[in-house]
Amino acid sequence: MAVSGLSALLLSANWLIYVWAVNSGHVLDASLGYFILPLINVALGYVVLGERPRRGQWAAVAIAALGVLWLALQAGRLPWTGLAIALTFGGYGLLRKTAPLGALEGLALETALLAPLAAALLAWWGWQGTAAWAHASAADWAWLLAAGPITAVPLLLFAAGARRVPLATLGLLQYIAPSLQFLLGVGLLGEAVQPARLVGFALIWGALALFALEGAWQRRRTLAMLDSV
């Protein structure tokens, strides 16, 4: 219960910061947070779980770290929003990997722990007359209800995957999501991006390519060794 309670708090904090960032026109800041997240995962896997990535994986992590550092320097300030997103979800991923409950059971318990708090807060806002949901249209309600399974399904898959792969591998794969967020922020929501920032994203995408190629080469090498035996 203590582990699930802590993971529920980290998850809810991550959600709140992310939703605030998206609704405040900071999608790229949120994207940067999820670019930082894999580095947090690699560090946690190395320090807490004793994982030892291979040299090629370390090289990919180093290149990605350079990309994140470049993006932070281009922003001209410490990326507080991105750091908060990365640290809360990084801690959540570590707890989900080591938690005794499975993916479905763990998410169900986390949701059960958060539901009374969320219901009380919604009721308080409604009583104060400041609740947006009380005046929402049918379309808004449909979007809000759809956001539940749209959020829950990826979380279930993440929790299941986190128990099966090293945090270093999980971390590098998580660069896919912020890359999509970046494309949505620029292409769909019209957020401005400086050309110099593209250098940072190019480094990160290059690190992803290196990580994938190193993994394919390692699998081929393992299969060749098994065939020779």
Domain that holds residue 187: 2-114+162-228
In a domain, 145, yes or no: no
| Residue 38 banded pLDDT, cuts 50, 70, 90 | confident
Reference 143, options 37, 47, 19; nearest CA is 19
**130 in a structural domain:** no
45-95 pLDDT, tens digit each = 888 888 777 788 788 888 878 887 887 787 776 678 888 888 898 888 888
From the list 92, 116, 122, 87, the residue with the least C-alpha distance to 8 is 92
Q: Has residue 21 got a pLDDT over 80?
A: yes
User: What span, in angstroms and rounded, lies between the C-alpha atoms of 224 and 124?
Assistant: 63
Whether residue 202 lies inside any domain: the answer is yes
Alpha carbons 97 and 169: distance in angstroms, whole number: 13
On whether residue 66 sits in a domain, the answer given is yes
Residue 129, domain member (yes or no)? no
Q: Is residue 43 part of a domain?
A: yes
Residue 98: inside a domain, yes or no?
Answer: yes
Looking at per-residue pLDDT, the higher value among 77 and 176 belongs to 176
Identify whether 142 is part of a domain: no
Structural domain total, the chain: 1
In the prediction, which pLDDT does 13 show?
A: 92
Q: Give the pLDDT of residue 10.
A: 92
Over the stretch 89-127, which tens digit does the pLDDT of each residue have? 888 888 877 777 777 788 788 888 988 988 898 888 888
pLDDT score recorded for residue 2: 84
Residue 222 confidence class, pLDDT cut points 50, 70, 90: confident
pLDDT confidence tier of residue 25, bands split at 50, 70 and 90:
confident
